[in-house]
Structure 1
Amino acid sequence: MRMSPSTTTPPAATTASGPLTRSQRLDRLPFTRKHGKLLGASGIGWALDAMDVGLISFVIAALSVHWELSKSDGSLIASAGFAGMAIGASVGGLLADRIGRRSVFALTLLIYGLATGASALAMGVGALIVLRFIVGLGLGAELPVASTLMSEFAPARIRGRVIVWLEAFWALGWILAAVIGTFVAASGPTGWRWALAVGLVPAAYSLVIRLGMPESVRFLERKGRTEEAERVVRSFEEAAGIDAPGPASAAAEAGQVGAGGAAAEGPVAAAGRVAADEVGTIPAADQVETSGGIWSAPLRARTAGLWAVWFCINLSYYGAFIWIPTLLVDRGFDLTRSFAFTLIITLAQIPGYAAAAWLIEVLGRRWTLTVFLAGSAVAATCYGLADSEATIIAAGCALSFFNLGAWGALYAIGPELYPTRVRGTGTGAAAAFGRIASMLAPFLVPVFLVAGGQVAVFVAFSIAFALAAAAAFTLPEQRGKALAE
């Protein structure tokens, strides 16, 4: 029977070492419907991002036919977006640590949604390049901020899996882009404009994000907004069937410790939650001194490794997937057929995410990321050597499977490497560094094509994937550990 806090005051949840912090109270919860709503809200934003990034590859291919767009101009359009993403990721991470994860998330959706809609009206390459840069500012800032916010709410035992689920929304967005590209962008000379007009959807969704999502509890505590942090934690506990605790201790009101727990459990809590006394079984992450920021001595090695993975995976992923529709056209397939092939290849992203979501809590983050990057390296070489429709599709599906599984693991491991004070900065900076590679990739593809054809292009990407796998293996394993405060 649920007991009202107005009639009785349940004792604070404690462990042998004392009262639970608010972060520990969140870590002990099962995955509830409230977690699911947060994941869905973040994931839809993520999918809309992917839809926008994916659409530009189809737009470039369509413009190469309708505007006789040169490869150099196509590279400029793609790279302008990635230049914006590099700046957006860096600035977005810094802002997330200063004004909050939720506010930055909503702002970025608004920026890129409006800019994408405006891109549909572009009358020339120059205008399209400028607008793609603005789109990139929003896209680049949103992705690391969304993963940081979700990481700070996900229970420690399944945090990696939850972030891979979040990243899996990317596949849904890219599939949507492929569908729009195949049936809208390829429909005629103005089809690409209607495809970009769909980008107005994120602008409206940003209002839903701002009004419906909670702010990070860790961020609220760090800013001294303890009453708001307590309300957020209690809302998640109530969703799990755990009664709200009694008055917070003085330490909790000072932002040091959260009042905790429950005297009586609801049916959901009884079925799935970790008991207060069992919180101590969740290993703590390494607590490190961060006065020097993400390049301080304790964080330097993990920052370098993370940046290397981000750089190499961006170079290979965007170099390949931005150009695949255009390269298929160059090989003699018409626009509709090349888009259809790309749609089939894109569908393989879904099982890739599913496999990564399972393995990340079985093998751990480091091994999962390393294995999927190594698989990407092999698949890239096979795609470069593919010389028939069947082998193109098979190798392309393998590349999608391994590459997007690797992305899921990468987004899971990033926020876990840093303490709260620099978590947004650390993930945003790594993403920003990676965007430098995504800026370079569209220009490198034409160069490699001239030097050695499609084989040279994908062998180069294979080497980059292999380097990323080596760098991933240097990162510390954080499976099952609480986030560092």
Structure 2
Amino acid sequence: MNKVRTMEELPLSRFHFKMFAYASGSTFIDGYIIGIIAVALSAMQSQFDMSLTMMGLIGMATLAGMFAGGVIGGYLTDLIGRKKMFLIDMLIMAIVSILQFFINDPIQLVILRFILGVAIGADYPIAGALMAEFSPKKSRGSLLGGLNGLWYVGYAISYLVGFLLLSVGDTSWRWMLLSSAVPVILMLIARLNMPESPLWLASKGRQKEANAIVRKIFGDHVIMSNEPETKEKTTFLEMFRNGYGKWIFFVSAFWSLQVIPTFGIGTYIPEILAQFGFANGTREYLGSAVINIVYLVGLLPALYLIEKFGRRPTLIVPFLVSAITLFVLGATSGLNTSFVFILVLFIIYGTFNTAMGAHDWIYPNELFPTHIRGTAMGFITGVTRIASAIGTFFFPFILENYGLAATLYICGALFFIGFLVSLFMAPETKNMSLTQTSSINKSGNKGQDSFASKKYIN
């Protein structure tokens, strides 16, 4: 007779990887849609006489939409369900992606890109909540953190597709914008077969439906949880009550402090390398390519270390190392430094920065209970999209007016502040059930390790 186990006590299986594929579609599509507009804008210039302001509006529209989508979509995810919102979201993205092909005015594109941003912003809290609620507790950190890596895959593929479509001619930009409909429609079809979250159903008092889904997927020897969800009412302000406001501040702060320098440096890395004196030939582009590849490669060891050593050290140490690395780069910016030395420093920065980025998905999905998990993740996503926009907008201004050294020092200082925030606030949630991780604020951080190391850990 099989021993009865909870969903969180199960080993990784094919089903978990299938859920990862469903959820990672969110970050892949986000990276693709944000990346493809950069190539399309350059091709559009031949047909539309766009001012810098208009180009900026088109580029910023998606990020602005993500703020609205995160806040509204996260709340609706907790209110009406994960699967339903996942499908509605993809349907909107598919329709808007196709409509982009037919625009006749840049303003129309601004509106459509904003709507796309709303849909993408809504998809983030849905994906994170579903992945967290189906994950085994011993692999939840790596599964959630791994979602972040698919953003870079989508971003890189968008540039490749854009490059290949340039040969189409004057209308190439239309086909570039339309191309986002392909992964969106494929993901919509795939998600038709996915289950609803049993934990969400239980939080709405639908225990029988929840248990039926668990039995269908895992068998009769698996139960939903030893700590069953109680029926809870979802309200938007709940994420600021009962001690959860502290976690809203913590996650919003460290995530924003991570993405502001990341988006700024990542967007203008060729210019930065050029100011280091590597503007001859193609070395600045070679360096940019290597650095961006490391953003993805650096995620792999981070996912292993997150499960081995825990969330807290793998957030604190990368913030500190990234800060020190940028301080060193700032100090050497006026010197005749070798290309290899500068490249190595940027690779160190990229590797540890990616380890930080994995926590952007882990903490917000672990620190809040099921009935407000999507609401909190959506709100935090919206806050960080504003931070991303600020970093991207002001970075070239600071670089031009204050110089490379000052710019790198400012970025390093932001990472150091992130180090301090994490040092004093980051909890440890390794090997805890979701019920335990979302209850840390009630018992405080002291004694977490002993709490998690009792009978709940196998």
Q: Does residue 44 of structure 2 align to residue 94 of structure 1?
A: no
- Tell me if structure 1 keeps the 8 A contact 2:146–2:299: yes
Match of residue 30, structure 2, among 49, 52, 57:
49
CA displacement 1:426-452 (0-9 Å, x = unmatched): 111111111221232232123213322
Match of 1:430 in 2: 380
1:82 counterpart = 2:63:
yes
Q: For the Cα contact (< 8 Å) 2:255–2:384, is it kept in 1?
A: yes
Residue 41 of structure 2 contacts residue 55 of structure 2 at CA under 8 Å; is this kept in 1?
yes
- Show the counterpart of 1:404: 354
Query: 2:242, 2:2 → 1: CA distance?
Result: 41
Match of 1:358 in 2: 304
- Aligned-pair distance for 1:26? 0.6
**Matching residue of 1:265:** none
Percent identity reads 28
Write out aligned runs for 1:141-160 (5 A). Answer: 141-160=122-141
Alignment of structure 1 residues 185-204 onto 2, 5 Å: 190-204=171-185
Unaligned 5+ segments in structure 2 are 439-458
Give the stretch that moved more between structures: 162-171 or 356-365: 162-171
Residue 307 (structure 1) shift:
1.4
Normalising to structure 1: TM-score of the pair? 0.76
**Which position in structure 2 is the counterpart of 1:4?**
none
Instruction: Classify the secondary structure of the residue corresponding to 1:476.
Output: coil
**Equivalent of 2:217, from 202, 212, 236?**
236
Residues 224, 290 of structure 1: CA spacing in aligned structure 2 closer, same or farther, 3 A cutoff? closer
Q: Which amino acid aligns with 2:78?
A: D
The partner residue of 1:414 within 359, 364, 372 is: 364
**1:318 corresponds to:** 263
The answer to whether the aligner puts 1:111 opposite 2:57 as a matched pair is: no
Amino acid at match of 1:477: E
Tell me, what secondary structure is at the counterpart of 1:172? helix
Alignment of 1:244-393 (within 5 A): 244=220, 260=223, 293-324=238-269, 342-380=288-326, 385=333, 393=343
Q: CA deviation at 1:327?
A: 7.1
Work out which of the residue numbers 416, 430, 445 in structure 2 matches 1:479: 430
Deviation string 1:269-309 (CA, Å, 9 cap, x unpaired) is xxxxxxxxxx98xx999xx9999612124223222111111
SS at match of 1:463: helix
CA distance in 2, matches of 1:117, 1:341: 35
Specify the code of the residue in structure 1 equivalent to 2:139: I
Structure 1: state its 5+ residue gaps.
Answer: 1-9, 14-23, 239-243, 246-258, 262-278
Cα pair distance change 1:168/1:442, threshold 3 Å: closer
2:13 maps to what in 1?
32
Separation in 1, partners of 2:156, 2:171: 21
Answer whether contact 1:140 1:432 (CA < 8 A) is retained. Answer: yes
Check if 1:213 corresponds to 2:199: no
1:186–1:335 contact (8 Å) kept in structure 2: no
User: Is the Cα contact below 8 Å between 1:49 and 1:173 reproduced in 2?
Assistant: yes
C-alpha separation in 1, matches of 2:414 and 2:46: 31
User: Secondary structure of 1:360's partner?
Assistant: helix
Equivalent residue for 2:451? none
Provide the TM-score with structure 2 as the length reference.
Answer: 0.80
Deviations 1:197-223 (A, max 9, x none): 221124312432431211111111122
- Cα RMSD of the aligned pairs, angstroms, is 3.8
Residue 466 of structure 1, CA deviation: 2.3
Q: Give secondary structure in 2 for the equivalent of 1:372.
A: helix
> Amino acid of the residue matched to residue 198 of structure 1?
S
